[in-house]
Amino acid sequence: MQAKAMVVTAPGRIEAAAFPVSAPGPGEVLVRTRATSVCATDVKVFHGGVGRARFPLIMGHEFVGEVIAVGREAAGRFGLREGDRVTPEPYIPCGRCAWCRTEHHYHNCPDVRLYGVSMPCDRPPHLFGGYAEIVTLVDGSLLHRVAPETPDLAACLSSVVGNAFRWVKTLGRMGFGERLVISGVGSQGLCTLAAALACGVGPIVLLGLAADEARFALAREFGAEHILAVDRDNALEAVPDLLGGAPDVVIETSGAPAAIRTAIRLVRPSGRVVVIGLSGGRETAVAFDDLVWRDVSVVCGKGQAGNVGDAVRLIDSRRFAFEKINNTIFRLDDLARALAATERPPAGFIKAAVVFDAENVPAQRAAGR
C-alpha cells in the first residue's frame, strides 16, 4: 500500500509524491488523515522561515485521522482500536528530561520533535505530516481520542484551541469575571474567545479590523459581547468604557508591533499582557519605564503543552461550532493554493483546511476544485 502526500522538497517548492506504508511498530499508530487545517506557521515553513524545518518535508501539524492500525504497546497505552478518531499534539517530547517532567513546558524539551516541521520524509516510515493520506504517529506521541459526533473540521483544531487555553489559563492565569481584551480576530483570537468564555472570563472585548466582518460574525455567534474595529474606533478610549475599567489581561495574537504597544497601554496597573503573535522578525519598541511604574507583567509563550485535553473536551462538547473557523476547504492536490490563501487571505477568509474525504467537503465552502 502507498500513501499520497504533498512534499516541500526545498523552500518554495512543493510537489506530489507517494510513499510505502509500513506496519506500525509496537508504540506506533497509523491513521488515515481526515482533515488538516492550514496553520500560518506552514506558510513560514514553506518559505524556509522556520529554523527547525528539515527538508524534504511533509508539512501539516493540525490534523485528525482515523486509526487503521495500532501497535501493541500503543493500543495498551491509549486504549485504541481501529476506527477510532484521534488528534495528536504537534510536539513529541523525549519523555525523559527535566522539561518533560513539567505539566506545561514539555515542548521545551531539547530533543523535542514536531510533526510537519522537524521530521523529514527522506527516511522510513516517511509519513510524518498531515498533508499525507496516511500519517505514522510515532512512539512518544501525545494522542487524544475524538468523540464520534465531533466534525473533523472542528477536531483538527485541537492544538489551536489548546493554544487558546494556554493563553487564558496557563499564561494569563485568568479566572471567573476578569476583564479581557483579545487583540486579533483570526483563528487564534476566535479560539481564545471560546476558551475564555468556557472559563467564565468576562466581560471581553475583541479587537480586529473593519475588513474582518466574517470573523466578527463568527465571534458574535460564539458569544462575543463587544467587538471593536481598531481602524474605525480608538481602542484606548473605547475599551475602558465597554469594560467598566481597564482590562485585567490583554491577549495579543496578531504580532503587529502597533497592536503589542496598544496592548501594553490598555492593561490595568498590575495587569498581564500575553503576547503570542509572531512579528516576523520586526522589532517592537517598548517603554520599560512604563511597565515598571505600572507593575505590568508581559508574558510570552509558544505551543499548547498540557492544554490539549481541555481543548478536546471543549470541542467535543459542541458548545462552539469550531468547524466554522475552517471556512475555506481544499483538496490535497491544491495545497499550494491553500497556502497562498493563508498568506494573502481573500475576502471572507478565516482559515483554510485540507479535507481528504470527498463526502466530507461542505459544498458551499469548497475551494481549489
* pLDDT for residue 361: 57
Q: Which CATH architecture best describes the domain 2-156+326-365? A: Alpha-Beta Complex (3.90)
Per-residue pLDDT, averaged over 69-85, amounts to 95
127, burial (CB in 10 Å: exposed 0-12, middle 13-18, buried 19+): buried
Q: Which H or E run contains 36? A: strand 29-37
The grid cell for 294 is: 505600572
Q: Which CATH number fits domain 162-300: 3.40.190.10, 1.10.287.1080, 3.40.50.300, 3.40.50.720?
A: 3.40.50.720
Check pLDDT > 70 for residue 112. yes
Q: Given pLDDT bands bounded at 50, 70 and 90, which one contains residue 369?
A: very low
Check pLDDT > 60 for residue 363. no
* pLDDT for residue 236: 96
Check pLDDT > 50 for residue 368. no
Query: Which among 143, 118, 116, 119 is positioned nearest to 130, based on CA atoms?
Result: 116
* pLDDT for residue 281: 76
- Rounded to whole angstroms, the Cα distance separating 162 from 90 reads 11
- Average pLDDT for the chain: 94
Q: Which amino acid is at 113?
A: R
Numbers of helices and strands, H then E, in the chain: 11, 17
* pLDDT for residue 342: 97
- Total-model pTM: 0.95
Each residue's pLDDT tens digit, 218-235: 999 999 999 999 999 999
Each residue's pLDDT tens digit, 230-281: 999 999 999 999 999 999 999 999 888 999 999 999 999 999 999 987 777 7
Each residue's pLDDT tens digit, 131-188: 999 999 999 999 999 999 999 999 999 999 999 999 999 999 999 999 999 999 999 9
* pLDDT for residue 218: 98
Give 180's strand partners.
204, 249
Q: Which residues of 158-170 are buried (b: 16+ CB within 10 A; e: fewer)?
A: bbbbbbbbbbbbb
* pLDDT for residue 362: 54
- Cis bond before residue 203 (omega within 30° of 0): yes
Each residue's pLDDT tens digit, 18-41: 999 999 999 999 999 999 999 999
* pLDDT for residue 193: 98
- Rounded to whole angstroms, the Cα distance separating 18 from 29 reads 19
Share of the chain above pLDDT 70, in %: 97
Each domain of the chain, given as residue ranges in start order, spans 2-156+326-365, 162-300
Q: What secondary structure letter does DSSP report for 24?
A: P
Per-residue pLDDT, averaged over 49-65, amounts to 96
Query: Which among 176, 213, 216 is positioned nearest to 196, based on CA atoms?
Result: 176
Per-residue pLDDT, averaged over 339-365, amounts to 83
Query: Which among 167, 132, 141 is positioned nearest to 86, based on CA atoms?
Result: 141
Each residue's pLDDT tens digit, 1-22: 999 999 999 999 999 999 999 9
Each residue's pLDDT tens digit, 349-361: 999 999 998 555 5
Q: Look at residue 258 and give its three-state secondary structure.
A: helix
Each residue's pLDDT tens digit, 274-286: 998 777 778 888 8
Please compute Rg for the chain using Cα positions.
Answer: 20
Q: Look at residue 286 and give its three-state secondary structure.
A: coil
- Rounded to whole angstroms, the Cα distance separating 36 from 233 reads 36
